[in-house]
Amino acid sequence: MTELIDLRSKTLEEIEAIVIELGEKKFRGKQLFNWVHKGTEKFNDMNNIPKNFKKKLEEVSILKNMDILEVLRSKIDGTRKYLMILNDNNVIESVLMKYKHGNTICVSTQVGCKMGCGFCASTVDGVVRNLRAGEILGQVLAVQNDIGERISNVVLMGSGEPLDNYDEVLKFLSIINHPLGLNISMRNITLSTCGIVPKIIDLAEKKLQITLAISLHASNDEIRNKFMPINKVYNINEILEACKKYIKNTNRRITFEYALIKGVNDKTEHALELAKKLKDILCHVNLIPLNEVNESAFETSKESNIKEFKKILDGERIHVTVRRELGSDIDAACGQLRKNYLKREHEQ
């Protein structure tokens, strides 16, 4: 049996080609694309598409490419953590965050991750497979359908390394940005990477207006090498050089993520060292209290240390904020929902 076409993974041009291939007029492509991006899950709901064409579509393609398996809802701030099951039974996580400026979704880009960061639960069992563009988009559509509200911002910060699934991530960006699709502006999209330098440079050359976030988490290579294996391939200096290129080409401010780990990267000397490295770069530092996970022994820094670290960066005139903790009453750290699910499945 040939594989069914995942319509959510297709650009408008590809959908038009499919429509023509099925013997229909090209304009049906726009109609179909529009339905796909409304999050429509049944061909029957497409009331401007002829019945016999809907039947043909149903034979060769799918709309819905995941189901919501579990939702944890925060009573404090409306955060929702989703466990989604894909058509091949793999599971992924997505998180909805409610901000004053709109609904933001954090999406996964891979099933698992192979980057091996020492503090992260998503990478413990390695990577299973890349997500298709339509499966990254499917998370947005599934959550929009669930909450009945529009999502205005997307962060590629869930499980997986987006630049390790580069082609599908780029395709996702172009599809979600399409005026006949969800039409989410590139400026409302953040891509977070552990620092795959050649891909950052390639991205810089594409001159997209997305926000680039770098998971830096250390002020020098010796520390970064301890918990981020990728640093042995691309070190901090190389990352910062690539970032400068990105800024030069796009004029966009870069975000550096810095998870504070007790006794490892949270001392005064580290803050000063970090400030020195970033002083000529158009950037913003996002300090993150480490989310402690069962799989690792790293502990989160004391609140007083976090405050002190911020104060030093402030004093050095580095733009810095501390990430507000959302959904603290549904305390499932990144990657934990999936891990718990896999554990349950395994025990059955």
Pick the binder of ligand SAH from 97, 136, 157, 275 (CB under 6 A). Answer: 157
Known catalytic membership, residue 3: no
Contact map string, positions 224 to 263, toward ligand SAH, x by CB under 6 A: ---------------------------------x-x----
Catalytic annotation, pick one of 93, 161, 168, 257:
93
Q: What are the tokens at 204?
A: 């810089």
**What number of other Cβ atoms are within 10 A of residue 53's Cβ?**
19
Residue in 295, 327, 308, 302 with CA at minimum distance from that of residue 116: 295
Q: Is 192 in the site for ligand SAH (CB under 6 A)?
A: yes
Size of the site for ligand SAH (CB under 6 A): 18
Contact map string, positions 287 to 306, toward ligand SAH, x by CB under 6 A: -x-xx-x-------------
Least distance between ligand SAH and beta carbon 129 (Å): 15
Least distance between ligand SAH and beta carbon 99 (Å): 18
DSSP string for 225-283: HHH-GGGGTS-HHHHHHHHHHHHHHH-PPEEEEEEEBTTTT-SHHHHHHHHHHHTTS-E
Q: Is 193 in the site for ligand SAH (CB under 6 A)?
A: yes
CB-wise, 66 or 261, nearer to ligand SAH?
Answer: 261
Known catalytic membership, residue 93: yes
The crossing angle, in degrees rounded to 10, of helices 166-176 and 197-206 is 30
**What number of other Cβ atoms are within 10 A of residue 304's Cβ?**
8
Q: Is 107 in the site for ligand SAH (CB under 6 A)?
A: no
Helix (H, G, I), strand (E, B) or coil at 163: helix
CB-wise, 157 or 208, nearer to ligand SAH?
Answer: 157
Q: What are the tokens at 190?
A: 């953040």
Judged by CB under 6 A, the stretch of 27-35, 88-96, 111-119, 166-174 that binds ligand SAH is: 111-119
Long-range contacts of 56-63, Cβ-Cβ distance < 8 Å, separation of 24 or more: 56/22, 56/23, 57/22, 57/32, 60/4, 60/5, 60/18, 60/22, 61/4, 61/5, 61/6, 61/7, 61/18, 62/4, 62/5, 62/6, 62/7, 62/87, 63/7, 63/8, 63/35, 63/36
Judged by CB under 6 A, the stretch of 15-23, 61-69, 76-84, 285-293 that binds ligand SAH is: 285-293
**What number of other Cβ atoms are within 10 A of residue 258's Cβ?**
26
Least distance between ligand SAH and beta carbon 326 (Å): 13
- What's the length of the chain? 348
Q: Is 173 in the site for ligand SAH (CB under 6 A)?
A: no
Pick the binder of ligand SAH from 74, 333, 337, 338 (CB under 6 A). Answer: 333
**What number of other Cβ atoms are within 10 A of residue 235's Cβ?**
16
Pick the binder of ligand SAH from 194, 196, 239, 242 (CB under 6 A). Answer: 194
- CA 81, distance to chain mean position in Å, is 14
Least distance between ligand SAH and beta carbon 261 (Å): 9
Q: Is 7 in the site for ligand SAH (CB under 6 A)?
A: no
CA contacts within 13 A on the Cβ side of 81: 20
CB-wise, 127 or 208, nearer to ligand SAH?
Answer: 127
CB-wise, 15 or 218, nearer to ligand SAH?
Answer: 218
Q: Is 189 in the site for ligand SAH (CB under 6 A)?
A: no
Under the rule (CB under 6 A), what is the footprint of ligand SAH? 115, 117, 119-120, 157, 161, 192-194, 215, 257, 259, 288, 290-291, 293, 333-334
Catalytic residues: 93, 334
